[in-house]
Amino acid sequence: MSAQPDKIHDRNISQIKGASANKTPDSISIKPRHVHFDVRDELATLWHGGDVFKTAFFNALSLQFPRGERQFIDSVRQYRDRVTDPKLQENIRGFIGQEGLHSKEHQSYNDALSQRGYDIEGMDKRFSAHMDYVYSKRKHLRLAGTCAAEHYTAVLAHGLLNNPDWLEGASPRMQALWRWHAIEEIEHKSVAFDVYESEIGIYKLRLIVFFVVTYNFFKFTFLNTCSMLKTEGKLWSPGTWLKGLNYLWGKPGVIRKCLPQLLTYFRRDFHPWQLDERQTLQRWSQQLENSGYGN
């Protein structure tokens, strides 16, 4: 597979797409793939190549998806009637469809995790209390929160597809599940952002909420990872943490590699499609289709 690097546009995206509210490239079709990954057997094991930290880290991400993605949908839906751009309306429909299926698929994933004796109920309860707090906020704040969280998912998705070693050691079906989610996150990466820009567009608010989302994203990922490591009897194992820190900050360096792209969110003229990922999408969509996993 010959990997072409994605290009970064220096120009403001409005100069490329004109004045329309929708800034997703016309060649990108945002449609949910109706797939299901039966990974129950894998989830009963340390599915990430037997590595307890990597398994717990990815599981910790999954535990935030069902309720998190439902809030993404609801926050965009609240502005749907105001959107007049037909292409953005169509993309909102695709976004809701994709996130709805992600939420459902990760619910099955999370249900299956209880096989390993993890305290799924306790972790869900903790995260649900946080989501109740999010739902108590006004709708412009919730949409700004969705934009920030969608930036996180898009950056992680970019990293996942462009660094196959992040999933090295996982079964092909688990790799397909995570790549399926990553592909669709990139496809719809600017939908919430385009709604925010056309209906709210306050730069400072976007930044302030980004800090809040950053704090909570790391907090819940860390707490859930710790909870699963505790069940595995590895919470106080220096070796596990050293290997984990190396995975996140050293080699391959999941967070280290995400940082530069994460920081682009601070640019006043930031737009998710300044990073043109059409080639990545084409390559991995084809690979997913050929793999036969997910049916």
Residue with tokens 């930036």: 151
Q: How far apart are CA 72 and CA 200, in angstroms?
A: 16
Which range binds Fe ion by CB under 5 A, 23-31, 37-45, 100-108, 252-260? 100-108
Query: Which one-letter amino acid corresponds to residue 185?
Result: E
Place of tokens 């946080």: 130
Q: Based on the number of CB atoms within 10 Å of its own CB, is 208 exposed (0-12), middle (13-18) or buried (19 or more)?
A: middle
Q: Return the number of the residue (47 or 180) whose C-beta is nearest Fe ion.
A: 180
Do you find a cis peptide bond into 252, omega within 30 degrees of 0?
Answer: yes
Q: At closest approach, how far in Å is the CB of 30 from Fe ion? A: 10
Q: Which is nearer to Fe ion, 51 or 150 (CB)?
A: 150
| Binding span for Fe ion by CB under 5 A among 38-46, 132-140, 185-193, 237-245 | 185-193
What 8-state DSSP symbol labels residue 268? T
70 touching Fe ion, by CB under 5 A: no
Q: Count of alpha carbons within 13 Å of 182, Cβ hemisphere only?
A: 29
Q: How many residues bind Fe ion (CB under 5 A)?
A: 5
Scan residues 103-142 and list those touching Fe ion (CB under 5 A).
none
b/e string for 121-150 if b means 16 or more Cβ within 10 A?
eebbebbeeebeebeeeeebbbbbbbbbbb
Looking only at residues 137 through 156 of this chain, which bind Fe ion when binding is defined by CB under 5 A? Answer: 150, 153
Number of H helices, E strands in the chain: 12, 2
Range 226-265, binding Fe ion (CB under 5 A): none
Among 102, 158, 257, 271, binds Fe ion (CB under 5 A): 102
Nearer to Fe ion, 98 or 240 (CB): 98
We find the least distance from the C-beta atom of residue 39 to Fe ion, in angstroms, to be: 16
Q: Which of residues 153-172 bind Fe ion (CB under 5 A)?
A: 153
Question: What is the secondary structure of 46-96 as a DSSP string?
Answer: -TBTT-HHHHHHHHHHHHHHHHHHHHHHHHHHTTGGG---HHHHHHHHHHH
Q: How far is the CB of 208 from Fe ion (least distance, A)?
A: 21
Torsion of CA 25, 29, 31, 37, to 10 degrees: -100
Tell me how far, at minimum, the Cβ of 124 lies from Fe ion, in Å: 18
Supply the minimum distance, in Å, between the C-beta of residue 14 and Fe ion: 22
CB of 188 to Fe ion, least distance (A): 6
Span near Fe ion by CB under 5 A; candidates 181-189, 207-215, 251-259, 282-290:
181-189
C-beta of 53 vs 196, nearer to Fe ion: 196
**CA 185, CA 195: separation in Å to the nearest integer?**
16
Q: How far is the CB of 185 from Fe ion (least distance, A)?
A: 5
- When the beta carbons of 83 and 154 are compared against Fe ion, the nearer one is 154
The backbone torsions φ and ψ at residue 170, rounded to the nearest 5 degrees and listed phi first, read: -80, 155
Closest to Fe ion by CB, 153 or 225: 153
The contact set with Fe ion (CB under 5 A) reads 99, 102, 150, 153, 185
